[in-house]
Amino acid sequence: MKTRVLSGMRPTGSMHLGHYLGALKNWVALQDQHECFYFVADWHALTTHYEESEVIGQSVYEMVTDWLAAGLDPDKSTIFIQSRIPEHAELFTLLAMGTPLGWLERVPTYKDQIEKLKDRDLATYGFLGYPLLQAADILIYKAAYVPVGEDQASHVELTREVARRFNNLYGRGKDFEAQVAAALARLAKDDARYYDKQRKAFGETGSDEARAKGEGIVRKAAAQVSGWRAEESELLLGHLKGSGRSVLVEPQALHTEVLRLPGLDGTKMSKSYGNAILMRDEPDAVAKKVRGMATDPARVRRSDPGDPEKCPVWQFHGAYSDAATKAWVVKGCTTAGIGCLECKQPVIDAIVRQQQPWRERAAVLTAEPQKVQRIVEAGTERARSVAQQTMKDVRAAMGLDY
Ligand code: TRP
Ligand code: SF4
């Protein structure tokens, strides 16, 4: 079985090259090896944009169009909208009951963002709670991996703690021990003995290696023992770590190395700063934007040598140029051998080339907007059935199935 990957993105405007290189490119790459769930985090957008909620509606299908244009394939990836699956809110509510306030107050992005986004009033209950909503988004699909930027690492860590706490509180029904014994009895004798050995080792030393080996046995059973149930895996995975049944699965953050792309003026690329190249900008617009980009301020005249390290165009070369072009830039810039417009041309060409297949796919999609809606509908149905199953387990574990 393929491992499940889940990630979400906020719909707050058209997507730009920074979004593509920072996240979307990776999403596309992951869909060949994993079962991928990607969603429009419209409720998350509301935590900061509650006073201008209309922006969200305008951006939802634009954003999904950008995803599809970039190469997300609806036959491989499940694409859906968060707010169409109210089970996310149900799980959020249930998790909220037992989550200590301090866990949320201590999330580093909380105070940071309140400081940074001074023009918005973020002293809201929703804003404090949104990392827990994110935990619900992840846990409801029992995702193994969550591709996110470094800035979101603390949210995945919180998600792990929330899952652990839930499993400890609710993962041991009264016949937990008997159920574990029954599941163990279904393993091959050697495997059961090996599992037990790893369990003891993990309990004594906390060794990750022992845990991984124990998990390997459970995976093997899932693949080989006939009629093996997911619940049996959850029992043994929980028992291995000395907790209850793993009703909720602790996810792992997936940080891939990404090239940071600044905006046209050298600060962070953002549509609202007016310094972004959009994924679907026309070639003319791209050329105009790059030609107008800031360069090393020391290069006032063509004859002044420059320093690529002080120039945002150089960072674009980092993302878009091969070694030979980069060597040409360094030599030409530091000796005033090339002008800045000359230096920018290969960047323009590379971006336009990269966008070509996006433009072609987007043209097909925008000609027939129902197509995108149908893709989202089908994805939402698929995601919903997984979410509903998890909620059944969660309610039962909590004793709410009366
Ligand atoms: N909070 C993320 C962001 O601001 C978006 C997000 C919401 C998300 N839910 C998620 C990402 C679940 C990964 C998994 O970018
Ligand atoms: Fe920047 Fe290139 Fe001009 Fe040097 S030559 S300052 S790297 S645009």
- Segment 236-263, tens digit of pLDDT: 999 998 888 889 999 999 987 777 899 9
pLDDT band of residue 1 (cuts 50, 70, 90) is low
Q: What is the Å distance from ligand 1's center to 219 Cα? A: 28
Cα(72)–Cα(76) distance, integer angstroms: 8
159 lines ligand 1 (CB under 6 A): no
**Helix-, strand-, coil-residue percentages of the chain, each rounded to 5:** 65, 5, 30
pTM: 0.89
Q: What is the Å distance from ligand 1's center to 76 Cα? A: 20
pLDDT value, residue 138: 98
pLDDT averaged over every residue in the chain: 94
The answer to whether 232 and 219 have CB atoms below 8 angstroms apart is no
pLDDT value, residue 19: 94
Q: What is the Å distance from ligand 1's center to 59 Cα? A: 16
In testing the pocket of ligand 1, which one of 92, 133, 148 has its CB within 8 Å of the most ligand atoms?
A: 148
Q: What is the Å distance from ligand 1's center to 39 Cα? A: 9
42 lines ligand 1 (CB under 6 A): no
Q: What is the Å distance from ligand 2's center to 298 Cα? A: 10
Per-residue tokens: 379: 């994805």
pLDDT value, residue 112: 86
Q: What is the Å distance from ligand 1's center to 84 Cα? A: 16
Average pLDDT over residues 109-121: 86
pLDDT value, residue 172: 81
With b for 16 or more beta-carbon neighbours within 10 A and e for fewer, the 144-161 pattern comes to bbbbbeeebebbbebbbe
In testing the pocket of ligand 1, which one of 81, 152, 254 has its CB within 8 Å of the most ligand atoms?
A: 152
Of all ligands present, the nearest one to the C-alpha of 44 is 1
What order of strands is seen across the sheet that includes strand 145-147? Answer: 77-81, 35-40, 4-9, 145-147, 252-254
Q: Please state the length of the chain.
A: 402
CA distances from 346 to 175, 266, 326, 401 (A): 67, 18, 10, 62
In testing the pocket of ligand 2, which one of 293, 310, 313, 315 has its CB within 8 Å of the most ligand atoms?
A: 313
Cα(177)–Cα(304) distance, integer angstroms: 77
With b for 16 or more beta-carbon neighbours within 10 A and e for fewer, the 235-269 pattern comes to bbbbbbbebbbbbbbbbebbeeeeeebbbbebeeb
The answer to whether 246 and 165 have CB atoms below 8 angstroms apart is no
Question: Residue 176 above 90 pLDDT?
Answer: no
Type of residue numbered 236 = L
In the chain, the domains with their CATH numbers are 4-170+249-260+369-398 (3.40.50.620), 176-240 (no CATH), 280-367 (1.10.240.10)
CA-wise closest residue to 273 among 36, 21, 16, 98: 16
pLDDT value, residue 273: 87
Closest residue to atom 13 of ligand 1, CA basis: 7
More confident residue, 52 or 307: 307
